[in-house]
Structure 1
Amino acid sequence: MRMDMRNFLELKGNLIYLKKLDKEYLEQYWENLSNCSIEATVFTGTQQVFSKSDIERYLEDISEDRSRIDFLIFSKESNEIVGEVVINDIFRNNRGANIRIIINRKEDFSKGYGSEAMILALNYGFGMLNLHRIELEVFPFNQRAIHVYEKIGFIREGIRRDGCFFNNKYYDMIIMSILEEEFREKYNYNKDLLKEFNN
């Protein structure tokens, strides 16, 4: 039986640390999702309402899914979950993937948690997963997130017109991406990643 070393992952930043989402965090994860701010729901276009049993099944499913890795974001100050960052749709042949992030409570916005989590996850994606391209989609009205993504190094590529149907309305989605050489040039794997971002 081969042990999945991803289960023991912990990536440390200055403000937060990331741990692989696993069944052991069911109670904390469920409680955190249950207290998600309406702003977080709107910015991510979340449309489903989940029960605890739905979450249990979800955790079981992702534990066997080799096309993704889900990280919980913990505040170093409180040691509580503040959100999650996920690298998914990993396509090994193209060395590409998608990334998404959510900070669940409005009171945790604008604290730098999301920026650190994205940089740590990207470093893992380009370094350990050997990815070449990581992309994301964002609503045009989520200007705060767009600003952060651009500061991190994501480039706008285009618009997916009427790409999301949310709250009885179609919305365009901005497609952004970052390539491994762009990330290396900006951060350099062996340097202090977060110091590079804050300069």
Structure 2
Amino acid sequence: MEKHKSIKIEKFLDGDKIYLRRLDISDIEIYADSGVNMDLESRIFTGTVGVFTKSQSEKYINSIMSDSSRIDFLIISKEDNSIVGEVVLNDINRNSRNSNIRIAIFEGENFGKGYGTEAMILALDYGFGMFNLHRIDLTVYDFNERGIHVYEKIGFKREGVLRDYLYFNHNYYDAIVMSILEDEFRESHL
């Protein structure tokens, strides 16, 4: 897949290898090419089964831009300002002070470079520090051993298993529910 450059260089959250910036409608071309139509390896890890048109991608971005229960960040490599993935705080519940987080690295060539770990820590810090969240959870498929290892290294704890949760390419897979609380995150990362 051809690498696309990020048009804007506005750093919302800054890390060592990457920075995060808010997803914007001006990202439609890049997002339609690399985001929602990521390579097969990334599709497997995220459980993405559909292929989306540019028009569908544009409708999706427009719908999430006005959704106050989520914040979508693009993960951008500092090396060349290319978009390598996304990390999203969604289902933000300000009364209960909890949220879900999800992450996708769009191409397998960017796995193992620390982008995902750094993006997760930046997004968690933002969620706990700016949204005053108490709990953030995620769901990871049982075959994603690398992802599970990273989440545990960050401080997520396993809470349970959703049996046969994902049907992908003629097989069922379990999903593992994990969470991290604000004090657990602060003890490890601040």
TM-score (ref. length: structure 1) = 0.87
Q: How does 1:9-158 map to 2 (within 5 A)?
A: 10-33=12-35, 36-158=38-160
4+ residue stretches of structure 1 with deviation over 4 A? none
Q: How does 1:180-199 map to 2 (within 5 A)?
A: 180-188=182-190
The letter of the residue matching 1:66 is S
Q: Residue 164 of structure 1: CA displacement? A: 2.1
The letter of the residue matching 1:82 is V
Instruction: Indicate which of 165, 168, 183 corresponds to 1:166.
Output: 168
CA shift digits 1:11-69 (9 cap, x unpaired): 00000000000101111222223762211000110011110000110111011100100
SS in 1 for 2:63: helix
Q: Residue 9 of structure 1: CA displacement? A: 6.6
Distance 2:67 2:36 in 1: 24
SS in 2 for 1:135: strand
Give percent identity, aligned residues only.
Answer: 60
TM-score (ref. length: structure 2) = 0.91
Larger mean CA deviation between 75-84 and 155-164 belongs to 155-164
Instruction: Decide whether the 8 Å contact of 1:137 with 1:173 is kept in 2.
Output: yes
Larger mean CA deviation between 178-187 and 163-172 belongs to 163-172
The letter of the residue matching 1:29 is Y
Stretches of structure 1 that go unaligned for 5 or more consecutive residues are: 1-7, 189-199
Distance 1:132 1:156 in 2: 17
Stretches of structure 2 that go unaligned for 5 or more consecutive residues are: 1-9
Distance 1:102 1:34 in 2: 10
Q: Residue 167 of structure 1: CA displacement? A: 2.3
Q: Residue 93 of structure 1: CA displacement? A: 1.5
Distance 2:33 2:51 in 1: 14
Alignment RMSD? 1.3
Instruction: Decide whether the 8 Å contact of 1:97 with 1:133 is kept in 2.
Output: yes
Distance 1:31 1:40 in 2: 14
